Amino acid sequence: MSDQPPILTNIGQTDFAEAACERLNGCDICPDYAECLNTRRENHETWLVGERMKDIRHRIFITSGKGGVGKSTLTAGVAVALARKGLKVALIDADIHGPNIPQMLVAEHSEAARHGKGLQLDEIGIVPVVPMPEEAPGLGLISMDYFIESSDDAVMWKGPLKKDLIRQLIASVNWGERDVLLFDLPPGTGDEPMMVTEIVDRIDGAVVVSTPQKVALLDARKSISMARHLDVPVLGMVENMTDEDLFGADQVKKSADELNVPYLGSVPLERRIIKLADEGKSIIVENPESEAAQAINALADDIMRALNA
Ligand SMILES: Nc1ncnc2c1ncn2[C@@H]1O[C@H](COP(=O)(O)OP(=O)(O)O)[C@@H](O)[C@H]1O
Ligand SMILES: [Mg+2]
pLDDT in tens, 280-301: 999 999 999 999 999 999 999 9
Q: Are 266 and 252 in contact (CB under 8 A)?
A: yes
172-192: average pLDDT = 91
What is the per-residue pLDDT for 31? 83
What is the per-residue pLDDT for 1? 40
Q: Are 66 and 187 in contact (CB under 8 A)?
A: yes
Closest CA to 77 of 264, 306, 281: 281
Q: How far apart are CA 27 and CA 5, in angstroms?
A: 9
| Helix axes 191-200 and 214-229, enclosed angle (nearest 10) | 30
* pLDDT surpassing 90 at residue 134: yes
Q: How far apart are CA 114 and CA 251, in angstroms?
A: 42
Mean pLDDT computed over every residue of the chain: 88
Cα 57 to middle of ligand 1, angstroms: 28
Higher-scoring residue by pLDDT: 42, 298:
298
| pLDDT band per the 50, 70, 90 thresholds, residue 246 | confident
* pLDDT surpassing 80 at residue 85: yes
| Cβ-proximal residues to 308 (8 Å cutoff; 6+ apart), any chain | none
Cα 53 to middle of ligand 2, angstroms: 24
What is the per-residue pLDDT for 35? 84
What is the per-residue pLDDT for 129? 97
Cα 141 to middle of ligand 2, angstroms: 15
pTM for the whole thing? 0.91
CB distance 70 to ligand 1 below 6 Å = yes
Interior CA angle at 92 toward 284 and 201, to 5°? 130
- Percent of all residues in the chain with a pLDDT value above 70, rounded to a whole number: 90
Highest mean pLDDT among 14-18, 21-25, 41-45, 60-64: 60-64
Higher-scoring residue by pLDDT: 189, 156:
189
Kindly list the distances between the CA atom of residue 115 and the CA atoms of 164, 299, 302, in Å, as whole numbers in the listed order.
24, 30, 32
Rounded to 10 degrees, the C-alpha dihedral 75/199/307/85 comes to: -50
Q: How far apart are CA 143 and CA 91, in angstroms?
A: 8
CB distance 71 to ligand 1 below 6 Å = yes
Q: What is the pLDDT of residues 198-229, one digit of tens each?
A: 999 999 999 999 999 999 998 899 999 999 99
Fold (CATH) for 27-308 = Rossmann fold (3.40.50)
What is the per-residue pLDDT for 132? 97
65-77: average pLDDT = 95
Q: Which ligand gives the minimal distance to the CA of 74? A: 1
2-6, 206-210, 249-253, 292-296: the lowest-pLDDT one: 2-6
- Sort strands 234-242 and 205-210 into parallel, antiparallel or unpaired: parallel
What is the per-residue pLDDT for 117? 82
For the residues of 160-213, what is the DSSP string, one character each?
HHHHHHHHHHHHHB---SEEEEEEE--SSSSHHHHHHHHHHS---EEEEEE-SS
